């Protein structure tokens, strides 16, 4: 369980970092907070030759905003996001999601970019060498078996990041940069939907910024997370909801996103049709919860049986919508 | 005379002497021993639960570069057997594999990487045998046996006790309630996994430094199993990084010894990783229990019938003793005149059931405390009222038919609970439940015995020295596994000798330096060693004062008083420094050793000889009443304990802080057992091998715990105290289960009380009512 050896790079500007990424032909693994990557290295799940720490690149840290958009640097800590008054007032779900990650020491280290790029997880994959020895590698480990669903042809590992569902609910985007170019994509496009390689980002690219459009009018949001313990645990199910209403309390727009319900965050697209132009009523919330239930893909590869987790999709979808509605001031 | 120095009082907080070094990472635990030339030792585990061993193929591993040696049972020169009571566990398997964690071969390698590789190269040829995994069914299985040489088949020990009219008394009851219960294994989950370090020196002395609760017993076991002269084995026991019973007996000691014998002069080290620890270590016994409880209309409990089955896995460890203690406590702290109590502890191919804080009592308490509530409900009595009407008083007979002779504070515990705001305001709190939440309040009343029982001597030998620097040095024979007993020893000695804590030094358990004082277990450490130490300290004080009195021709030692660092002759006001006085004392005056043996029950009725040998009946008991405020999420089923109250009678208090830490820690561990911890075993293989699957609560998951103490004086205890380390572990599971029943009108008969389990029960209830 010791950290294997690696070469350490520590650029102090973004330009240097992007240069290094090109120079090392994608073999320089970016190290943000390290709270995900280092345990994976200790378990022997990944073996980067070069670790490139981003902690000294101050231009990647901090929260800024103008009239239309909020900008969160990729290296901004989850603690800062959780405690930001601006986020607590205008982007409650994002603040709640950041505050629900792991435990305070991990939130001090963990960053928004790191959290977004978190790898998918599975009980049959996130195990020590001791546990895995003697077993053939699974799909996620580059092999061609699945221990979670024996006989299956694909990987069923689960995306358990907390921030992504909340950010997607706000239609957030990310800026991805490489030497000489930069692109901005909606966050949902960051995810491939494949458990084997869930994050679509090239080896020489860096996620540098999260951009959240500031919603207009009257709205509320919420992130609800189901887990066994009130600290440390990844979500076993989570739901983020964004809800904007007009002066007659009719829904102008709604977005509901599930976490830990498949290899990528799951957008419950039915929500818009069900609620738009209507008042928020229990029957509509139930209908969305039902749609969420149908969209969630779950197998027995996390802390609780899939059957129970799936039931919880309904409960937490409802709670997220209700809390989002109740948070409207 | 300086009055500003802090004199150490009994009953006051003395901050733990070990805390500062521990929090700074300076304390050296067994797992911290390290040197450049050391050899890593690793164990090839069987990986299969039941098979006849045919051949162990070690050649490939042996020839791997960097491997120093590979050992099997053929290299063990002694009996190759270990065990606390019945010596039934091989050091290295020689005939049969009896559980997946069995040690089959030992590899010595230059580093960990080579070690892991070598272990993977060892192959085991075996003939699979049918699995024995259900304790209750295994008792009648005469064909498939875990130990063919055990005269009782798969039954390790069966105990039965009948009092009064036994089951015939049920016909005299106005009401009878029956239920069956199941509890899973609980893993100790100590921070420091099993670890040790050993070396064989040029004089043939084998020194093993190991994380253990039992250095002196370990020494005998190592010597016998490996065929060594006991004088050539030395065990050093640093502070444990947690143990909770899991290090009561051999973990890696014999393996370390065997490895060290192979490479004389070189240090060898074993340190199990978490998975290996989970696979191989002992657990709290999983159990199935059948209860029948009868009462009279006035709420008096009248008859109790109990049958329970404890799964001890493949080896005795302390299974027989655990079962016996369960039997002794199976009727709780109640006066029930007619009982028929039967317990079995059974061999299977599951993980080893063994010692774990509270030792067989949490299982029966889960059952009995729910039974009492069920009777109360049928009689329309409050759970508190039924307990007040039935709890034992001093002089009453307990359910096994022996007489309660120790201080008996259970009525006091319940009366304090009755007056407490948490009890008085419970209905209002329940009514204030938020939407989708249901609230309930559960209570439990518990007794817990202290010490080894009537046959095995519960003794300690305390040694204390006036050093050449004029300080006092205590030689502790009992391990401090984290409970703080050693701090209490310092407090006791400092108080008697009127010294600052700074004037007291410590020697931690070491078979060469300290004296045999039994195990760190059974809530006995402060009681037994404390009593011996009081005697030793008083005697030493007398020797010193006599010596001074003789020297200056004083009339008697009454003319002197001892203060920190010196002695004052009161009539003249002259003072004598201890560091000067010590020069006048010969070794046999400077060093005092005293033996103490705890009193035992003299009653010979109702308990047969085999049960007596396994530790019952006991003489001294502690008591608690517990109260839990529980809130259940109706949609997820999750239980949250919002507040917790414990009222403890463990006699007079020596150090309130240490006692509170013991109470809080035990309740935290008990709440883990109640709500989260479920060690899953399928077909003999453990499925929960790390902390992502075996869930223990974090600080965020624990409620505020309030603890109150009833300080009854126990006349036999040091300064009036009695054991407190285990008792509070028993309460949380039944208190929470009773709280859940109060909130939902649903009884959960199987623990832990997970959200999923409660949600299922809610669904069933809904379906039944539709």
Q: What is the pLDDT of residue B553?
A: 95
User: Given the structure tokens 């390790």, which residue do they identify?
Assistant: B156
**Beta bridge partners of residue A267, listed in sequence order:** A257
**pLDDT tens by residue, B530-564:** 999 999 999 999 999 999 999 999 999 999 999 99
Q: Is A231 on the interface with B (CB under 8 A)?
A: yes
Q: How far apart, in whole angstroms, are the C-alpha atoms of residue A163 and residue A118?
A: 10
Residue A120 predicted with pLDDT over 50 = yes
Where does the pLDDT of residue A208 fall: very low under 50, low under 70, confident under 90, or very high at 90 and above?
very high
Q: In percent, how much of chain B has pLDDT > 90?
A: 97
Q: Tell me which CATH code domain A218-327 carries.
A: 3.30.390.50
Q: Give me the total of CB pairs closer than 8 Å, taking one residue from chain A and one from chain B.
A: 50
**ipTM of the complex, rounded to two decimals:** 0.90
Instruction: Report yes or no: A258 and A238 within 8 Å, Cβ to Cβ.
Output: yes
Q: Are B698 and A230 inside 8 Å of each other by CB?
A: yes
What CATH class does B33-129+194-271 carry? alpha beta
B119: DSSP letter = H
pLDDT in tens, B127-183: 999 999 999 999 999 999 999 999 999 999 999 999 999 999 999 999 999 999 999
Mean pLDDT over B92-113 rounds to: 97
Residue A74 has pLDDT above 80, yes or no: yes
Measured between beta carbons, the chain B residues lying within 8 angstroms of A311 are 759
Substitution target from B113, B124, B756, B759 for chain A, most A beta carbons within 10 A: B756
Q: How is chain A split into domains, by residue range? A: 1-55, 62-117+158-213, 218-327
Which of A260, A242, A262 shows the shortest CA–CA distance to A252? A242
pLDDT value of position B527 = 98
In CATH, what number does B283-453+604-769 get?
A: 3.30.365.10
What pTM does this model have?
Answer: 0.95
- Return the pLDDT at B32: 97
Chain B: residues touching A (Cβ < 8 Å): 116, 120, 273, 275-276, 635-636, 676, 689-690, 692-693, 695, 697-701, 755-756, 759
Residue B6 reports pLDDT greater than 70: no
What's the CATH architecture for B17-27+459-597?
Answer: 2-Layer Sandwich (3.30)
What confidence tens digit (pLDDT) does each residue in B503-538 have?
999 999 999 999 999 999 999 999 999 999 999 999
Region B77-93: mean pLDDT is 97
pLDDT at B433 over 70: yes
How far is B6 from chain A, CA to nearest CA, in Å?
38
Chain segment A129-173, per-residue pLDDT in tens? 777 877 899 999 999 999 999 999 999 999 999 999 999 999 999
Q: Which of B276, B690, B756 sits opposite A304 (nearest CB)?
A: B756
The arrangement of secondary structure in A62-117+158-213, i.e. its CATH architecture, is 2-Layer Sandwich (3.30)
pLDDT in tens, B753-765: 999 999 999 999 9
Q: In the 8-state DSSP scheme, what is residue A118?
A: P
Q: Which CATH architecture has domain A1-55?
A: 2-Layer Sandwich (3.30)
Taking a C-beta distance cutoff of 8 angstroms, is the pair A316, A239 a contact? yes
Task: Give A312→chain B minimum CA distance, Å.
Answer: 7
In the predicted structure, residue B7 carries a pLDDT above the cut 80: no
Residues on chain B touching A228 (C-beta within 8 angstroms): 676, 695
Cβ contacts of residue B650 below 8 Å, gap of 6+?
A: B622, B659, B709, B721, B722, B723, B724, B727
Per residue in A172-198, pLDDT (tens digit) is 999 999 999 999 999 999 999 999 999
* Least CB–CB distance from A315: residue in B275, B635, B756: B635
Whether pLDDT at A322 is above 50: yes
SS3 content of chain B, % helix, strand, coil (to 5): 30, 25, 40
Please tell me which of the candidates B120, B636, B692 has its beta carbon nearest to residue A133. B120
The fraction of chain B above a pLDDT of 70, given in percent, is 99
Q: What was the pLDDT predicted at B770?
A: 77
The SS3 call for residue A12 is: coil
Going along B95-154, which residue ranges are E strands?
A: 96-97, 103-109, 123-128
Partner B contacted by A304 (CB < 8 A): yes
Task: Kindly report, residue by residue over B446-484, the tens digit of the pLDDT.
Answer: 999 999 999 999 999 999 999 999 999 999 999 999 999
User: Could you read off the pLDDT of A3-61 as tens digits, one per residue?
Assistant: 999 999 999 999 999 999 999 988 999 999 999 999 999 989 999 999 999 999 999 99
Q: What is the pLDDT of residue A1?
A: 65
Q: How confident is residue A2, by pLDDT bands cut at 50, 70 and 90?
A: confident
Strand order in the sheet with B504-507: B504-507, B472-475, B459-466, B591-597
Least confident of A257-266, B8-17, B267-276, B592-601: B8-17
Mean pLDDT of chain A, nearest integer: 96
- Nearest CB partner across the interface for B275, out of A130, A226, A308: A130
Q: Which residue has the higher pLDDT, B414 or B604?
A: B414
Which pLDDT score is estimated for A129? 78
> pLDDT by residue (tens digit) across B46-71?
999 999 999 999 999 999 999 999 99
Q: Tell me if B697 and A134 make a contact (CB, 8 A cut-off).
A: no
For chain B, where do the domains classified as CATH 3.90.1170.50 start and end?
33-129+194-271
3-state percent breakdown (helix, strand, coil) of chain A, nearest 5? 35, 25, 45
């Amino acid at each position: 369980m010791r950290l294997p050896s690696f070469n350490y790079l520590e650029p102090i500007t973004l330009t240097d970092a992007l240069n290094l990424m090109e120079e090392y032909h994608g073999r320089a693994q970016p190290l943000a907070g390290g709270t995900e990557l280092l345990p994976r290295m200790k378990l022997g799940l990944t073996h980067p030759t070069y670790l490139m720490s981003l902690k000294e690149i101050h231009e990647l840290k901090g929260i800024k905003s103008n009239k239309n958009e909020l900008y969160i640097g990729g290296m901004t800590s989850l603690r800062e996001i959780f405690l930001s008054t601006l986020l607590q007032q205008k982007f409650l779900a994002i603040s709640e999601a950041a505050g629900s990650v792991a435990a305070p020491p991990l939130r001090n280290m963990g960053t928004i970019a790191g959290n977004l790029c978190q790898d998918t997880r599975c009980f049959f994959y996130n195990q020590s060498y001791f546990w895995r020895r003697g077993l053939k590698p699974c799909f996620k480990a580059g092999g061609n078996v699945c221990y979670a669903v024996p006989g299956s042809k694909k990987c069923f590992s689960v995306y358990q990041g907390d921030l992504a569902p909340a950010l997607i609910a706000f239609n957030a985007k990310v800026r991805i940069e490489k030497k000489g170019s930069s692109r901005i994509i909606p966050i949902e496009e960051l995810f491939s939907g494949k458990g084997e390689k869930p994050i679509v980002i090239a080896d020489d690219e860096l996620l540098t910024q999260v951009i959240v459009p500031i919603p207009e009018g009257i709205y509320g949001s919420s992130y609800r997370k189901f887990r066994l313990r009130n600290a440390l645990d990844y979500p076993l199910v989570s739901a983020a909801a964004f809800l904007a209403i007009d002066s007659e309390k009719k829904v102008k727009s709604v977005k509901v996103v599930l976490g830990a319900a498949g290899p990528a965050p799951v957008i419950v697209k039915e929500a818009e049709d069900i609620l738009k132009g209507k008042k928020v009523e229990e029957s509509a919330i139930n209908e969305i919860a039902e749609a969420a239930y149908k969209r969630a893909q779950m197998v027995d590869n996390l802390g609780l049986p899939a059957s129970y987790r799936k039931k919880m999709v309904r409960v937490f979808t409802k709670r997220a919508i209700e809390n989002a509605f109740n948070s409207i001031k | 005379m300086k009055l500003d120095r802090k004199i150490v009082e009994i009953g006051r907080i003395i901050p733990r002497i070990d805390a500062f070094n521990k929090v700074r990472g300076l304390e050296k635990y067994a797992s911290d021993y390290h040197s450049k030339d050391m050899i890593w030792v690793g164990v090839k585990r069987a990986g299969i639960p039941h098979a006849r061993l045919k051949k162990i193929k070690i050649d490939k591993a042996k020839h791997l570069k960097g491997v120093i040696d590979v050992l099997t049972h053929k290299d063990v020169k002694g009996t190759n057997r270990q065990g606390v009571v019945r010596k039934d566990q091989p050091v290295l398997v020689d005939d049969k594999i009896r559980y997946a964690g069995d040690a089959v071969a030992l590899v010595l390698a230059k580093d960990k990487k080579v070690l892991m590789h070598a272990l993977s190269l060892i192959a085991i040829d075996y003939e699979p045998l049918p699995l024995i995994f259900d304790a209750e069914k295994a008792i009648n299985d005469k064909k498939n046996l875990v130990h063919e040489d055990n005269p009782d088949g798969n039954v390790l020990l069966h105990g039965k006790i009948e009092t009064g009219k036994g089951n015939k008394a049920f016909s005299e009851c106005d009401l009878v309630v029956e239920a069956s219960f199941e509890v899973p294994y609980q893993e100790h989950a100590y921070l420091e996994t099993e670890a040790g370090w050993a070396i064989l020196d040029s004089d043939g002395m084998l020194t093993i430094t190991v994380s253990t609760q039992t250095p002196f017993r370990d020494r005998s076991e190592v010597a016998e199993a490996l065929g060594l002269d006991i004088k050539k084995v030395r065990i050093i026991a640093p502070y444990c990084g947690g143990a909770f019973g899991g290090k009561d007996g051999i973990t890696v000691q014999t393996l370390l010894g065997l490895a060290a014998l192979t490479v004389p002069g070189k240090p060898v080290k074993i340190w199990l990783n978490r998975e290996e620890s989970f696979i191989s270590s002992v657990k709290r016994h999983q159990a199935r229990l059948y209860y029948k409880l009868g009462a009279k209309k006035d709420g008096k409990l009248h008859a109790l019938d109990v049958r329970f089955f404890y799964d001890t896995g493949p080896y005795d460890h302390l299974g027989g003793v655990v079962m016996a203690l369960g039997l002794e406590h199976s009727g709780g702290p109640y006066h029930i005149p007619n009982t028929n109590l039967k317990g079995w502890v059974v061999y299977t191919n599951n993980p080893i059931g063994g010692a774990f804080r509270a030792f067989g009592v949490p299982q029966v308490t889960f059952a009995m405390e729910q039974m009492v509530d069920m009777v109360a409900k049928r009689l329309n009595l409050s759970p508190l009222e039924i307990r007040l009407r039935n709890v034992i008083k001093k002089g009453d007979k307990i359910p096994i038919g022996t007489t309660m002779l120790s201080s008996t504070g259970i009525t006091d515990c319940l009366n304090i609970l009755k007056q407490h705001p948490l009890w008085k305001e419970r209905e209002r709190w329940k009514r204030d439940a938020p939407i989708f939440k249901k609230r309930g309040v559960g209570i439990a009343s518990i007794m817990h015995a202290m010490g080894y029982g009537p046959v095995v001597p519960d003794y300690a030998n305390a040694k204390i020295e006036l050093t050449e620097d004029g300080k006092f040095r205590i030689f502790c024979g009992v391990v401090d596994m984290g409970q703080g007993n050693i701090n209490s020893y310092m407090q006791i000695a400092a108080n008697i000798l009127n010294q600052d804590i700074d004037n007291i030094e410590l020697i931690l358990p070491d078979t060469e330096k300290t004296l045999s004082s039994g195990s760190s277990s059974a809530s006995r450490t402060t009681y037994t060693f404390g009593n011996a130490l009081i005697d030793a300290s008083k005697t030493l004080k007398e020797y010193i004062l006599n010596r001074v009195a003789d020297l200056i021709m004083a009339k008697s030692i009454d003319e002197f008083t001892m203060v920190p660092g010196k002695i004052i002759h009161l009539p003249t006001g002259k003072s004598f420094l201890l560091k000067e006085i010590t020069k006048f004392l010969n070794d046999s005056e400077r060093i005092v050793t005293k033996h103490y043996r705890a009193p035992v029950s003299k009653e010979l009725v109702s308990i047969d000889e085999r049960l007596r040998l396994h530790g019952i009946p006991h003489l001294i008991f502690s008591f608690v009443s517990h109260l839990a405020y529980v809130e259940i999420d109706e949609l997820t089923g999750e239980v949250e304990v919002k507040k917790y109250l414990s009222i403890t009678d463990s006699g007079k208090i020596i150090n309130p802080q240490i006692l509170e830490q013991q109470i809080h820690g035990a309740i935290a561990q008990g709440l883990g057992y109640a709500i989260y911890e479920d060690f899953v075993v399928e077909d003999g293989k453990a499925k929960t091998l790390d902390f992502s699957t075996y869930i223990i609560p974090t600080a965020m998951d624990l409620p505020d715990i309030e603890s109150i103490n009833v300080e009854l004086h126990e006349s036999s205890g040091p300064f009036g105290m009695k054991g407190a380390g285990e008792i509070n572990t028993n309460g949380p599971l039944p208190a929470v289960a009773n709280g859940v029943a109060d909130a939902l009108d649903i009884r959960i008969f199987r623990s832990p009380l997970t959200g999923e389990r409660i949600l299922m029960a809610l669904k069933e209830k809904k379906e039944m009512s539709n």
